[in-house]
A and B are shown apart, each in its own frame.
Chain A
Amino acid sequence: MLDQALKHLHDELQKAIELEFSTIPPYLTAMYSIKPGTNQAAYDVIRSVVMEEMLHLTLAANVLNAIGGRPALNVAELLPEYPIKLKFTDRQFPIGLLKFSPEAVDTFLKIEMPARLIPSGRLAGRPDRMLLGGFRDVDLTGRTIGEFYADLILALEDACAQYGEEQVFCGDATRQVDTRYYYNGGGEALFINSLKTAKQALGLIVDQGEAGGDSLSDGDTTFGQAYEVAHYYRFNEIRQRRYYAPTDKFGDQPSGPEMLVDYEQVYDMRPNPRQQDLPAGSELAGLMSEFNELYSGFMNVLHEAFNGRPDALLQAVTLMFSLKYKAIELLKNPIPDGSGQHAGPGFEFVGAPVAARMLMADGPATAEAAPAREPVYDSV
């Protein structure tokens, strides 16, 4: 049944959105914990990956919108609460909010691990269903993010073959977030209205994340970017304190110029900062709750942007700036408990915007009845 096939695709793409999103706060936290004027190269590496994750998020949302889905980004149950776990069929590991450190870089490497680097060997047969559920924990049936997307592409192809491309790509074009609104780099936000463009978008996500063949390059020449290796290798450059050279091949360690990395020049953030761990009523707790409010506002605006108001993305970008400054302010503050450790951004979602809260208050029945994956809040 078309409906069922679409529902399945919607679920998978929603998962893709959650997946792409869930990596962003950990990357941002590590990035912002770097002291100003230090570790510039590492900062740039992480930033370049974050920009691409944001692009991936946008692309996944565009594909979901193109097939008539509704991306959800402001539902507490769907948003990460750190540390989260990333589960694959054959492995799972926690992802936390960590300061820039060898442990953080190792986690990043695990997240971005390309298929052929997984020691356990051969690909398991492609599972025919995604694991369901998994609020907060992101379940993946494939083994790598790349394989997850490969499955998604196959499912899209199947659906198109079976029910016709037009039936599948039935979304409202005005819900697409294109280059007009998405501009912060990482590549181009594609307008999606066909199997071809959807495959292009999902292919781009995979290529930027993992390189194919023997090359380490992400093959991305948009904006005339300099030689850039795929995410895993970029993080490996940090770990090895050395850039890859264009001549390096799969399996090589980087052999390009040295990269200066100094893990001392980092604010000593306590892992997985949370509101509840700060002395209640303290000024610092106040700053944290300002951050979390801002973050929640950001998610709400992002949600709007992907639900028919693409121009809201402009506001999201400005909120990103404020989020960054608040996060850094937290990171610069010692926790006043004598531990010497610093506070940090919690990325704790504190709720839908006022309008939506009122909606829930007005009709709890409606809110409860709504399936968890339906966005509670829609642009008003």
Chain B
Amino acid sequence: MMTDTLKPRDGKDVESAVQGALAEGKSLEIAGHGSKRAIGRPAQTDLTLDLSALTGVTLYEPEELVLTARAGTPIAEIEALVASKGQQLAFEPMDYGALLGGWPGAGTVGGALAANLSGPRRIKAGAARDHFLGLTAVSGRGETFKSGGRVVKNVTGYDLCKLIAGSWGTLAAMTELTIKTLPGPETEATVAIVGLDDAAAAQAMIAAMGSSCDVSGAAHLPAAVAASLPLAHAAGGGRALTLLRLEGVAPSVAHRQAALVARVKPFGEVVTIAEASSVPLWQAVRDVLPFAASRAGAEAPLWRVSTAPTQGAALARMVTNATGASCLFDWAGGLIWISVPDARDDAAAPAVRRAVAACGGHATLIRAPAALRAAVEPFEPQDTVLAALTKRVKEGFDPKGVFNTGRMWAGV
């Protein structure tokens, strides 16, 4: 594998690397720590463009709510820095380490944005894309360009940050990013309902989200899933657990906790979980620990499905009835992690795609053996108009297909 990796030291190097690749007709795989490398179609590239040497926070002004960092800066380092000022990345970026069998805490800020990471707080605070203020990047034309700025409110020109967020390195190599930081909550608590089936849980979460309680996390762990998390097991005695998180200043959390308990009591037995257990429990939900590689199998197929919250339970039922899969619900039922028994040779793709077609939304095959990810489209197939538009966007930024081409769809 010698000489297969280019490790630029700065933005200028990145530009030279891309120009070099263009001149030699070579393709590049953009990587930070490579922690999410196993997601997507297995694409053939000639060289790896390793951005992990582009590190360092170049600006952090907590009172302006902004932070600028080079793309290879570890996300863990950034989270620690903002935490030292009582702030957080409100999009609560999940850590794919456990799911993909990597080590926890890996990943760069560039990777977090390229994958548009989010977490349970997505329902209240948005995803990475909602906190992405500015970028400098090198496109597949070997040109450095920038978009956005370092202020939290800006509509000058197209919002290319949004486009690059979630593009999985197929459009440009980011070299520097500016993101929004926000105050972290003073405290948190969780209200949990015990023993609900998926459909009842969906109703309870809808009721909670429709209240003024400002719920910042709403997840449902069916019994078998809850049983696999010691904290959830302790709270629910091995039964299903529907979790509702409250964050904020102490008097507010206390007040909302009382209101929320009253609101969800009609659904079943209610328990409350104090901060000390609530924090790690939500981290486990965020990182989908019940389906961790160490538990489910390093290559056991795992789907991530985004749908309307009211459709979650029905969609999950369609898939589980057909395949015996198990599910974890986040985002008030709108995000479903579906773990498929690993014996299957099609990752249950037909069942998942059928359910998504019936219920709306989209599904991504997050974990599966490379051969399966080549055989089954990991990203949701697009209709012809959207696929053509997507391809034209790709060609605008990367006409020669130097970057991660084929990772999302053939040619993209």
Does A pair with B? no
